A and B are shown apart, each in its own frame.
Chain A
Amino acid sequence: GDSVTQMEGPVTLSEEAFLTINCTYTATGYPSLFWYVQYPGEGLQLLLKATKADDKGSNKGFEATYRKETTSFHLEKGSVQVSDSAVYFCALRDLNTNAGKSTFGDGTTLTVKP
């Protein structure tokens, strides 16, 4: 079945540092890939997405590129801020999966210190 593996956390960075959170996946079909962000006390919200190979999703300074050859979708940001402290989830949706269910990684907690 489908699966998503995320870099284990927690991750602690200083403000303005470079961020990478690794995500790799396995899927039987051609999935769309997503990064969600969860702030304390809130639900998950979409950060960015990519729907086909070599697509780059971007939002709020975050970027991720759909790499089919390495089955990866790593999240990057050039300069993190304290306000980026949150839990980040990588996920996929496969058109071949019944009901379009999503498969989520376990989440990576990011803490940014001033």
Chain B
Amino acid sequence: NAGVTQTPKFRVLKTGQSMTLLCAQDMNHEYMYWYRQDPGMGLRLIHYSVGEGTTAKGEVPDGYNVSRLKKQNFLLGLESAAPSQTSVYFCASTPEWGMGNQPQHFGDGTRLSIL
């Protein structure tokens, strides 16, 4: 009963390095989302996907790229990390059916520090 799994859980990068955060869900959900959580700013949507092979920008997409090659996986990439990207990143998913009434299911987060 895994739900939404994020890897890695923690990571420290140097400015300019690249990395990919992986999100995997085993609930056959159609919709997936990437958020960042910063103190005092709640959750901000970075990118989202409405199905395999589709992606779209959220409210804070700059500096990030995403891919959804398989329905169960949603990858978030940082091509050239910057200190402003230090944050906790959360992935979430939700089914399409009755989506307006369905909550989002969240992973436990990836804590990323950029030095």
Q: Is A105 in contact with B42, judged by CB distance below 8 angstroms?
A: yes
Residues of B with C-beta under 8 A to A42: 108-109
Q: How large is the interface on B (under 10, 10 to 19, 20 to 34, 35 or more residues)?
A: 20 to 34
The answer to whether residues A89 and B109 also contact, given A32-B101, A36-B103, A51-B101 and a CB cut-off of 8 A, is no
| Number of residue pairs spanning A and B whose beta carbons lie under 8 angstroms apart | 58
Q: Point out the residue from A32, A89, A104, A105 that lies within 8 Å of B100, measured CB to CB.
A: A32
- In the complex, A44 Cα to B41 Cα: how many Å? 15
Instruction: Tell which of B12-20, B43-51, B67-75, B78-86 binds the partner.
Output: B43-51
List the A residue with the shortest CB-CB distance to B56. Answer: A99
Closest CB-CB distance, A17 to chain B, in whole Å?
25
Task: Determine the main DSSP class of A at the interface with B.
Answer: mixed
List the A residue with the shortest CB-CB distance to B32. Answer: A99
- In the complex, A94 Cα to B33 Cα: how many Å? 16
Q: Is A43 in contact with B42, judged by CB distance below 8 angstroms?
A: no
Cβ-based interface call for A61 (8 A):
no
The answer to whether residues A101 and B45 also contact, given A43-B90, A43-B109, A106-B40 and a CB cut-off of 8 A, is yes
- In the complex, A89 Cα to B35 Cα: how many Å? 14
Cβ-based interface call for A77 (8 A):
no
Q: Is A34 in contact with B31, judged by CB distance below 8 angstroms?
A: no
Residues of B with C-beta under 8 A to A105: 42
Q: Is A89 in contact with B108, judged by CB distance below 8 angstroms?
A: no
Which positions 24-42 of chain B face chain A at CB distance < 8 Å?
31, 33, 40-42
Please report A residues at the B interface, Cβ cutoff 8 Å: 31-32, 34, 36, 41-46, 49, 51, 89, 93-95, 99-102, 104-107
A to B CB contacts below 8 Å, 5 in the list: A42-B108, A42-B109, A44-B106, A99-B50, A100-B31
New contact pairs (10) apart from A31-B100, A94-B100, CB-CB < 8 Å: A32-B101, A36-B103, A43-B4, A51-B100, A93-B99, A95-B100, A99-B31, A100-B31, A100-B100, A105-B42
